[in-house]
């Protein structure tokens, strides 16, 4: 049985209805933090954008390589990037980079994200579409070199609510280096080694600092069929 416990990040039942528009900053320690704004975009505008993205984006479901095996990625994707950036490559797959000019609504969503995060400048976007509960993204971190040592990743969600889970990467070597008994450390970290968010329609979640270096994240499968969810992750690629 795992000693790790979830810390679910959610609204208490008697919370103020305006609280959803507020930003919550969760400090995960050691220079990693996450911002969550549940009601980042107005709901009606978010549904218009959901319909636009669902219909207009040239979604593909590529074949990727996982542990040396070819498999169809368990969700649809699309990639948009500013001109002149290095190509993105993940799991042996190089997606075509579409232009922001082809999808004007993406610029409007990007503007809203930039307004919420002054000082940030995102120049690429990975879009994911989960067509039901069977679609998912497995444990990973977005720690590719082209995003730099402390990537800021701004994630906007539309449609069906899904669980987004972060768990700390195992760091046995650093524990051993510190000379601490492993069992003691595990007890101290209880309730803080895993965090779960229910990402709402129109929400914004931002991973910052060392979150990609020290944490993994996933959107697990669901037993229920579920409706479609679309997620946009804005990133900054360094030249």
Is residue 142 involved in binding Mn ion (CB under 5 A)?
yes
Place of tokens 């699309």: 78
Taking the C-alpha atoms of residue 128 and residue 231, their distance in angstroms, rounded to an integer, is 5
46, 73, 128, 194: residue in contact with ligand AKG (rule CB under 6 A) = 128
- Residue closest to 218 by CA, chosen among 145, 166, 150: 166
Phi, psi of 85 (to 5 degrees): -85, 150
The nearest distance, CB 214 to ligand AKG, in angstroms, is 16
Distance CA 15, CA 207 (A): 25
Q: Which long-range contacts (CB under 8 A, 24 or more apart) does 21-28 make?
A: 23/116, 26/195, 28/166, 28/168, 28/192, 28/195, 28/211, 28/214, 28/215
Q: How far is the CB of 4 from ligand AKG (least distance, A)?
A: 20
| 73 touches ligand AKG by CB under 6 A | no
Smaller CB separation from Mn ion, 11 or 198: 198
Q: Dig out the tokens for 213 from the structure.
A: 């270096």
Token code pair at residue 166: 């972060």
62 CB-near residues (< 8 Å, 6+ apart)? 72, 73, 77, 93, 95
List the binding residues for 2-oxoglutarate: 128, 130, 140, 217, 229, 233, 235
Binders of ligand AKG in range 161-180 (CB under 6 A): 164
Which of the choices Mn ion, ligand AKG, none does residue 155 contact, using the CB cut-off of 5 to 8 A by kind? ligand AKG
Tell me the number of residues near Mn ion by CB under 5 A: 1
DSSP structural state of residue 113: H
From candidates 129, 201, 217, 236, binder to ligand AKG by CB under 6 A: 217
Closer residue to Mn ion, CB minimum distance, 11 or 142:
142
Q: Which is nearer to ligand AKG, 36 or 164 (CB)?
A: 164
Q: Name the residue nearer to ligand AKG (CB basis): 87 or 180.
A: 87
Q: Which residues bind Mn ion (CB under 5 A)?
A: 142
Enumerate binding residues for ligand AKG (CB under 6 A): 126, 128, 137, 142, 155, 164, 199, 217, 219, 231, 233
């Amino acid at each position: 049985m795992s000693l790790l416990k979830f810390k679910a990040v959610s609204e208490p039942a008697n919370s103020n209805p305006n609280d959803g528009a507020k930003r919550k900053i969760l400090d995960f320690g050691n220079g990693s933090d996450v911002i969550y704004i549940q009601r980042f975009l107005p709901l009606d505008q978010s549904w218009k954008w959901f319909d636009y993205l669902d219909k207009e984006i040239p979604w593909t479901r590529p074949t990727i390589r996982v542990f040396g095996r070819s498999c169809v990625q368990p969700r649809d994707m699309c990639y948009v990037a500013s001109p002149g950036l290095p190509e993105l490559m993940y799991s042996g797959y190089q997606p075509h980079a579409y232009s922001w000019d082809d999808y004007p609504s993406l610029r409007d969503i990007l503007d809203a994200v930039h307004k919420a995060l002054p000082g940030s400048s995102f120049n690429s976007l990975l879009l994911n579409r989960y067509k039901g509960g069977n679609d998912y993204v497995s444990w990973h971190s977005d720690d590719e070199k082209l995003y730099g040592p402390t990537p800021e990743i701004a994630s906007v969600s539309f449609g069906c609510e899904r669980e987004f889970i972060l768990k700390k990467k195992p760091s046995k070597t650093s524990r051993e280096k510190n000379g601490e008994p492993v069992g003691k450390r595990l007890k101290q970290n209880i309730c803080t080694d895993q965090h779960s968010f229910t990402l709402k329609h129109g929400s914004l979640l931002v991973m910052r600092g060392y979150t990609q270096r020290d944490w993994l994240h996933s959107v697990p499968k669901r037993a229920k069929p579920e409706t479609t969810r679309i997620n946009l992750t804005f990133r900054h690629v360094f030249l």
